[in-house]
Structure 1
């Protein structure tokens, strides 16, 4: 049996076909997620919006390419699992069409209202069963910001992957605990929207979708799309789940005691646990739901692999200033890694804390350079220290988990930024003090979504 996996990522949309018996990827396609549609003036104010119709079209194109590669085996496809970026919000009308641009996890418009949001909710204690404190970019604070400005649409309000699954199945959106928990409004201990919290915030609960088990049946792929893609009409669409949890499943890292590092645009370190543990908000540690009524302790860095992308843009701007040729991004990135490889571990004392986008538990924080001296003030040292800083930020989260009595026995990795950067993998191994195991396939989140959809819909 084949199961399709679809990952609506921040920068890339990935589709693949996974053989759940042989446990291997048999077809794969990826496309740039070019659906960002934030006006320049609003982007400067920290807004981040997404044209959901465009993202859906890119997703369909990737799925169609995968199905074409399957050829006569397309008839073996039984399920489609969906995953993608967490926290943000999409708005669908009753006709399941977007009524306005989606607002992503990178959006900061609600930042100044977070203190008011928490006070109106009843203080930080009101979020004890959420597993996290609210932050800008989360669906809950974003809805609150819109409501306070009388700009909240009368439409389904769901996470972006939820909307994609609904559009595939032509069914009203549902959410799962992993995505619902990323809103800041969901009680992960009792698996329900927190009615008391919603009432205190005067939030319209009827806009939020029902919550079902991760991967549970949403419906069948709508007939018109099945024909367009070349798939049979019995394909089941599974409820979407967060890309974070999907990447753990796709990395085969779903057993308590397994430590997981995921570095893409952002970064996370996670530890699977059997029982609910209160969030360690002062250290930036959240408790998130995991399929099977389990939980994961998670520290999330807002700027993971994107720190190196930012550095690459810095070098490109410098070349423009000097009137030099600017190579393409891949060429520049390869040259950066080659230069950094000549620098010893520790970067001769240079340390970089790459919180260029702040941190959820310290939103006003900034990146920092320490130990900068004449001898290590070189591009190669800066690149190497940035790589080590990415590992250090995630390592600090794990230190807090360990001090609280939670220890990992093994270390698995996922994410393109980690897979494609040997120096980063080495830095992670040094920081965590254990070997890093990568799965034999890429696109771990899409694989995880495919596996879970097949498991829940045999």
Structure 2
């Protein structure tokens, strides 16, 4: 079908994040964002697992989704030709298939509400302890299993609250659920990207580890049917705030892959994003296949991307959150000294002071949050002398430490040897911090381009626009 007919001019991109939902309208010919809306979900709810549990109310998430879509121009929604949906990976929501929602006719048009769904257990959930994970049969996959992964969470329920699962016959990520509802699917579909993020999925052969799961007592009837990332899942079963009935909907995709798609202009680009955490990634060649088994000590993970390709991803736990902790520490010190200085002032003055210091011999190992491949590696400060204890020296050393940590995980030389020609720099912590930019440009010697926004909602719309 043509995506450029006069009556069908927009792709609707939806991203269901951990704390907010975003909706964008991308004009098909110009590929420009015509409008966008974002709403906080405020969906966190208490869990029976106490501090270890991280759960969200599905109704609140859908309410935020409806508010976003309803706020978009109705005349544009009537011209939507495709819908793309991305969202927070790893997590799991359960429902009764074909009974998990109810469509309602309102003055604003048709809308849907959840019915009998479980809470969403998010990717942040911590109920699966290391002891529990070690007791499980290890997956036939190149990706390690972790708490918060959908299959791990379901296995936890099987062992600890098996009666909980008896009310449901379908499961998926929150964005898989939305696609199933929009299309009225008899059985949910899941992309390779989301399946890989659930655990017990072999991306090399594209199948669930069914024998391992069955032998573990896993209710395999809950598993969605897996299709390729970028496939069309179905068509909308109802008109939705002006979006026509019969509009094609893509299978739900991973928010990370879609964020990369939104700014990786060329196949030879790498994407460096420093926000709360930090990620450095590039696309591997089409011939690349991941190893059969995970290497728990490696700092680079291979995530499935599109058309059978993979991303090499260094996902650091330490990014802008390190600077935020530094600013918080300084604020606490000033309070203890009887002064009250806003964090914004501390941050801006720290950056200003560091800009007056071209380089420093102070060294900061900026891994205060550890790393997945080295969880016990914390932060340290070395080479301290009387001449490098100023605010400027410490701030610059901290920024350099954040960048050097990323470079230790995925060295610039490896990027060059892999054919990367430039780096797309993005993320709030990077784009608003000139010192961090300077340190990135010292460590990563490739050309760096700033200004390209990383946006999963835009990315998933672009994916749908590019599907033939």
- State the alpha-carbon separation in 2 of the partners of residues 291 and 31 from structure 1: 28
- State the alpha-carbon separation in 2 of the partners of residues 40 and 355 from structure 1: 30
Counterpart in 1 of 2:366? 353
* Residue 83 of structure 1, aligned match among 75, 82, 86: 86
- State the alpha-carbon separation in 1 of the partners of residues 412 and 151 from structure 2: 27
Counterpart in 2 of 1:398? 410
Pair 325,39 (structure 1): closer, same or farther in 2 beyond 3 Å:
farther
CA contact (8 A) 1:266 1:304 kept: yes
* Residue 161 of structure 2, aligned match among 144, 150, 161: 150
Q: Deviation per CA, 1:93-141: give whole Å up to 9, x if none.
A: 33223633222222222132365245x23xxxx54xx232122222233
Counterpart in 1 of 2:202? 187
Bigger shift: 80-89 or 397-406? 397-406
Which structure's CA Rg is the greater one?
2
Matches within 5 A, 1:295-444: 295-315=310-330, 327=342, 331=344, 335=348, 338-339=351-352, 341-342=354-355, 344=357, 347-356=360-369, 358-372=370-384, 375-377=387-389, 381-399=393-411, 402=414, 406=418, 408-438=420-450, 440=452, 442-444=453-455
What's the Cα RMSD here? 3.2
Question: Does 1:269 find its partner at 2:280?
Answer: yes
Counterpart in 2 of 1:164? 178
Pair 324,182 (structure 1): closer, same or farther in 2 beyond 3 Å:
same
> 1:53 is paired with a residue of what secondary structure?
helix
Question: Does 1:109 find its partner at 2:127?
Answer: yes
Pair 208,338 (structure 1): closer, same or farther in 2 beyond 3 Å:
same
CA contact (8 A) 1:113 1:145 kept: no
CA contact (8 A) 2:179 2:249 kept: yes
Q: Deviation per CA, 1:398-434: give whole Å up to 9, x if none.
A: 1399299645332123444434444333333322221
Q: By how many angstroms is 1:194 displaced?
A: 1.8
Q: By how many angstroms is 1:285 displaced?
A: 1.8
- State the alpha-carbon separation in 1 of the partners of residues 410 and 65 from structure 2: 35
CA contact (8 A) 1:251 1:413 kept: no
Pair 58,389 (structure 1): closer, same or farther in 2 beyond 3 Å:
farther
- State the alpha-carbon separation in 2 of the partners of residues 253 and 107 from structure 1: 34
TM-score computed with the length of structure 1 as normaliser: 0.83
Q: By how many angstroms is 1:287 displaced?
A: 1.6
Pair 173,315 (structure 1): closer, same or farther in 2 beyond 3 Å:
farther
Q: By how many angstroms is 1:383 displaced?
A: 4.4
Counterpart in 1 of 2:107? none
Q: By how many angstroms is 1:336 displaced?
A: 5.9
* Residue 238 of structure 1, aligned match among 226, 250, 269: 250
Q: By how many angstroms is 1:321 displaced?
A: 5.7
Matches within 5 A, 1:211-230: 211-223=226-238, 226=240, 229-230=241-242
Pair 307,293 (structure 1): closer, same or farther in 2 beyond 3 Å:
same
Pair 55,303 (structure 1): closer, same or farther in 2 beyond 3 Å:
farther
Pair 351,153 (structure 1): closer, same or farther in 2 beyond 3 Å:
same
- State the alpha-carbon separation in 1 of the partners of residues 215 and 359 from structure 2: 49
CA contact (8 A) 2:193 2:229 kept: yes
TM-score computed with the length of structure 2 as normaliser: 0.81
CA contact (8 A) 2:237 2:246 kept: no
- State the alpha-carbon separation in 2 of the partners of residues 196 and 343 from structure 1: 62
* Residue 21 of structure 1, aligned match among 29, 49, 53: 29
- State the alpha-carbon separation in 2 of the partners of residues 237 and 47 from structure 1: 32
CA contact (8 A) 1:263 1:417 kept: yes
CA contact (8 A) 1:188 1:288 kept: no
Counterpart in 2 of 1:209? 224
Q: By how many angstroms is 1:31 displaced?
A: 2.9
CA contact (8 A) 1:117 1:201 kept: no
Gap runs ≥5 in structure 1: none
Q: By how many angstroms is 1:92 displaced?
A: 2.7
CA contact (8 A) 2:94 2:172 kept: yes
- The number of equivalent residue pairs is 437
Pair 10,276 (structure 1): closer, same or farther in 2 beyond 3 Å:
same
> 1:335 is paired with a residue of what secondary structure?
helix
Q: Deviation per CA, 1:334-354: give whole Å up to 9, x if none.
A: 636644643636554131323
- State the alpha-carbon separation in 2 of the partners of residues 144 and 318 from structure 1: 46
Counterpart in 1 of 2:63? 57
Pair 39,145 (structure 1): closer, same or farther in 2 beyond 3 Å:
closer
- State the alpha-carbon separation in 2 of the partners of residues 170 and 222 from structure 1: 6
Q: Deviation per CA, 1:171-213: give whole Å up to 9, x if none.
A: 3432101111112211010111122332343322211111112
CA contact (8 A) 2:56 2:119 kept: yes
Structure with the higher helix share, 1 or 2:
1
Gap runs ≥5 in structure 2: 1-8, 101-113
- State the alpha-carbon separation in 2 of the partners of residues 401 and 107 from structure 1: 36
